[in-house]
Amino acid sequence: MARDEKGDGSHARDGSPQQAPSESSSLLFLDGNSLLRLDVASGRKTRLGAFPAPDVRASPGSGWIAYVVPGQPTAEAHPDFLTDPRLRLFDVGSGGEMILGRGFSPLWDPSGSKVAYLRSSPSRSCDGETCAGGVSVRVAWPGGRTETILEKGSYGLLGWAGDRLLVADASDTTHILSVAASGNRLRLPLAPSQFWGASPDGRWMVRVGTEETMFVRLRAGRLTTDTTPIALGGRLLAAGMWAADSSGVAAMALGGRDAPEIVLFSPEEPELRALPHSSGVTGAPLWSSEGHALLFPRVSGGGARKVIASLCPASVNPSQDRKGECRSLLSWRQGVILLRMEQ
């Protein structure tokens, strides 16, 4: 990571009055391989550094980010297909780094206190985009220790449900594994393809299916029979995320006669509610750190066909026209990745 400090420049999801997007917040994003921070109030950009490859994953609950680099100078440039990927952690605030060695597919827990990742075995080999050989599942605590929680196998990381990591095992696609950092594991009767996401507090999971999509209550890491159907209205859920306080979900909705848009829903209000002025969204939404607003990329109008990062209040009240409270933070044609909103 090459570091550079040079500068260039009362939420309520039921639609009741709430705060506008915070003027004290900032946006962390990638432009190509460069890491930048944009101050919402002033529009000033600060370049924080550059990465050798654009595979960067920001923690949602701390200042840390994880990034993958090639282990050999001659390795291919695309991090998904490196024969020898190496994982590092970087603290945006202090500039501190932690080198984890062989590793890829980092996945932060909701608090940002630890990151799970896959560690390839020395026998792992790749031919083009296909790699053979087992991987182990490890967890690292930034600035501290690392532990192996699953030994060599055919694993893929799905997400976190509170403090438990959910893992797919290619040797048994009828179940997923729920693993605690202590190594305690459970087998959940759920196909990996049915998992959409779990709440940060570990109390709910969104389970998708061909006939029905629903919230499923989790108790002590296990699935229960307490379910709440989600009324999709003929649409499909694409990328999205839970609010940090686990009060609800924001996601892209695809299908139907309308353009893709952001929808909000929760176990208490399971019907999809469209976020005004989100039509044309092109990627997953990000919650602001205080939960008052949502940031999302969408295609701009007109002939320029640029992508705009829009910051809008997290309100779905159709009786209030909140378009004037939405802000366009930046625009681009290609190469930009939105990482996280910061307070």
Report DSSP letters for 1-60, one per residue. Answer: -EE---EE----TTS---PPSPTT-EEEEEETTEEEEEETTT--EEEEEE-SSS-EEE-S
Q: What does the pLDDT average to over 205-219? A: 94
> Do you know the residue count of the chain?
343
Q: Is 79 exposed, middle or buried (0-12, 13-18, 19+ CB in 10 A)?
A: buried
pLDDT at 143: 84
Q: Which residues pair with 57 in a beta bridge?
A: 66
The pLDDT of residue 5 is above 80: no
Q: Tens of pLDDT along 114-128?
A: 999 999 876 555 555
Whether residue 234 contacts residue 280, with contact meaning beta carbons closer than 8 Å, is answered with: no
pTM for this entry: 0.86
pLDDT at 127: 56
Residue 24 has what pLDDT? 63
Which amino acid makes up residue 214? M
**Which percentage of the chain shows pLDDT scores above 70?**
82
139 CA to centre of own chain: 17
- Dig out the tokens for 154 from the structure: 């055919």
Determine which helix (DSSP H) or strand (DSSP E) holds 149, and give its type and residue range: strand 146-153
Please name the residue ranges forming H helices in the chain.
none
176-180 β-sheet, strand order: 155-161, 164-169, 176-180, 185-188
- How many Cβ atoms sit within 10 Å of the Cβ of residue 127? 9
Tens digit of each residue's pLDDT (9 = 90 or more) over 294-336: 999 999 876 667 999 999 999 776 555 555 588 999 999 999 9
For 133-154, write each residue's pLDDT tens digit: 689 999 999 988 999 999 999 9
